[in-house]
A and B are shown apart, each in its own frame.
Chain A
Amino acid sequence: MPERTLVSPQDIQRVVVRIAHEIVERNRGARDIVLVGMQTRGVPLANRLAATIEGLEGITVPVGSLDISLYRDDLSSLSLKPTVHRTDIPVDIADKQVVLVDDVFYTGRSIRAAMDALIDLGRPQSIQLAVLIDRGHRELPIRADYVGKNIPTSQNEEIKVYVKEVDGEDKVTIIAPSKEVTDEND
């Protein structure tokens, strides 16, 4: 079955604006917030959230990028070309409200790894999770605080998120059925 678009660029923009509002509302402002995007597509989403929050509150929220390759629980079954990007978080996260940002929320294993990675960097006041797409099929007791779209899927379907900064366009698509699940979508 071909790739089918589920979420349009406009919808993605609306979701970013809504989640930015929710983050500010829940944290009563933006003062102690640090946005941490997960490599690769979480990073541009975090940057967009930061820009939106700056428009709302007039505060520049620090944005970092987190690579979880070194924290994965499946290293030996990893890709043909193991790639690890640099983690770059510009501020000390101790006592901050850290909002993790990812594109697709799936098994929860990446988020588990991300939480371990963050805690190694310092002791945040809290860790919250913002995701563009929640596709279900959790394998760990982890939930998201901010969800863009809930998209119920079967496990042999593939959800692909495209963002302008990486892929040249904004959209979310579904491909089904697919034999393999790429490791970007967990």
Chain B
Amino acid sequence: MKTIEPGAGIATPDTLPPPPIAVWQHRHILDLDDFTREEIGLVLETADAMAEVLTREVKRVPTLRGKTVVTMFYEPSTRTRASFELAAKNLSADTVSLDASKSSVTKGESLIDSLRTIQALGADFIVMRHSQSGAPYLATQHVNCSIINAGDGWHAHPSQALLDIYTIRRHLGKLDNLKVAIMGDIMHSRVARSNIWGMSTMGARIVLCAPNTLLPRYLENFLAKCQLPHVSIETDIEPALEDADVVMPLRLQMERQQSGLLPSLREYIQLYQLTTERLSLARQNVLVMHPGPINEGIEISPEVAHGAQSVIEEQVSNGVAIRMALLYLIAGGKNK
């Protein structure tokens, strides 16, 4: 920790200057497409304060005492779910976790009925993961709880993108003009989609690198229509890596190779695996990130995944601080 010199003024070392927004308006966290730069800045600044709490021996503050956070996961997850539950517990909220495979869903209960039941049980926040894109948006129309999207289909994973941005900012100071290469299975990746919104808003230049079959169709039209001029597409890995400040290979969803999107796994490894040799094309202090879970030896070699440039584990720890910040901001803002 830093010592403060007498007369040094306010002792807030790692924080941004207060962002010039009057109101925090988000009652739900669904995606980053409706976040301004100032709002993302406020989340990061709040996460800094939360990170300090996580360094304490007793990592618990009484902020959300009496609030209930329900995690409702219709898809498997280890880190996101554990991360949200720890975040809620660190803020002294009560947590209930529902595993769809063991709940009334197996008896045929609809999503909306499940949500209403959870609301009736007294939930203040529902953290939700669902295999259908848009499910959390539907949820907001049927219950009064705050909905936090923990991943919906191929669509969005905002808390992951925020923790990625936070991790980059901690290492490189800011995102403006950084070159971020997101590589691999872009088509099926909600992490990539949320990062495109969030990182563009924060000023990064994004290169999406994948074989054509793993890029969403009409991507160019989409980028033009949404005015994302700093996002580019690259089908070869070398130009994507050149002078990159951040490299983020995505998990190759193994079930895809059966569906004919890839000629063979071996070819993919040969052409797209992030290896030490390829990484040397990037900047010397490049950050290697991965949203997890990792297929070591497929999209990334083990040496790179565990190498000196890797911040993959730190991403996981930062996730708790980011999720604490989101819960705090939703609970504290006048957004009811």
Contact = CB atoms under 8 A, between A and B. Distances in A.
Interface of A: 37, 39-40, 43-44, 47-48, 50-51, 54, 60, 62-65, 67, 69-72, 75-76, 78-90, 116-117, 120-121, 165-166
Given A43-B11, A70-B62, A86-B15, A80 B2 contact: no
B48 A70 contact: no
A165 B63 contact: no
A165 B328 contact: no
B4 A78 contact: no
B8 A47 contact: yes
Given A43-B10, A47-B6, A81-B23, A86 B56 contact: no
A88 B13 contact: yes
A65 to B, nearest CB: 4
Given A50-B6, A90-B1, A116-B62, A82 B24 contact: yes
B10 A40 contact: yes
Q: Residue among B10, B14, B52, B333 with the most chain A CB within 10 A?
A: B10
B7 interface: yes
B2 to A, nearest CB: 7
Contact of B11 (A37, A71, A81, A120): A37
A43 B173 CA distance: 25
12 contacts: A43-B11, A44-B9, A47-B5, A50-B6, A67-B49, A78-B333, A82-B333, A85-B15, A86-B14, A88-B2, A117-B61, A120-B60
A86 B10 contact: no
B49 A84 contact: yes
Closest 6 CB pairs of A and B: A82-B332, A51-B6, A65-B11, A70-B61, A165-B9, A84-B49
B42 interface: yes
A48 B6 contact: yes
B170 to A, nearest CB: 13
B218 to A, nearest CB: 38
Nearest to B14: A86
Given A47-B9, A70-B61, A90-B4, 14 more contacts: A37-B11, A39-B10, A63-B4, A63-B6, A65-B11, A78-B332, A82-B46, A82-B332, A85-B12, A86-B48, A86-B52, A88-B2, A90-B3, A165-B7
A54 to B, nearest CB: 7
Interface in B298-336: 328-329, 331-334
Given A81-B42, A116-B62, A86 B332 contact: no
A54 B7 CA distance: 12
Nearest to A37: B11
A67 B9 CA distance: 15
The contact size tier of chain B is: 35 or more
A110 to B, nearest CB: 15
A89 B22 CA distance: 29
Contacts of B5: 47
Contact of B61 (A81, A89, A120): A120
Interface string B23-45: 11000000000000000001001
Contacts of B3: 62, 90
A64 B5 CA distance: 10
Contact of A65 (B4, B91, B329): B4
B58 interface: yes
Contacts of B56: 120-121
A71 B18 contact: no
B98 interface: no
B2 A75 contact: no
A144 B74 CA distance: 54
A84 B176 CA distance: 24
A75 B327 CA distance: 12
Contacts of A80: 22-24, 333-334
A54 B329 CA distance: 40
B254 interface: no
Contacts of A60: 6
B53 interface: yes
B10 A75 contact: no
A72 B22 CA distance: 21
A51 B4 CA distance: 11
B120 interface: no
Contacts of B2: 88, 90
A40 to B, nearest CB: 6
Nearest to A76: B331
A66 to B, nearest CB: 10
Contact of A85 (B9, B21, B49, B62): B49
Nearest to A61: B6
Contacts of B334: 78-80
A120 B62 CA distance: 10
Contacts of B8: 47
A75 B61 CA distance: 13
A41 to B, nearest CB: 9
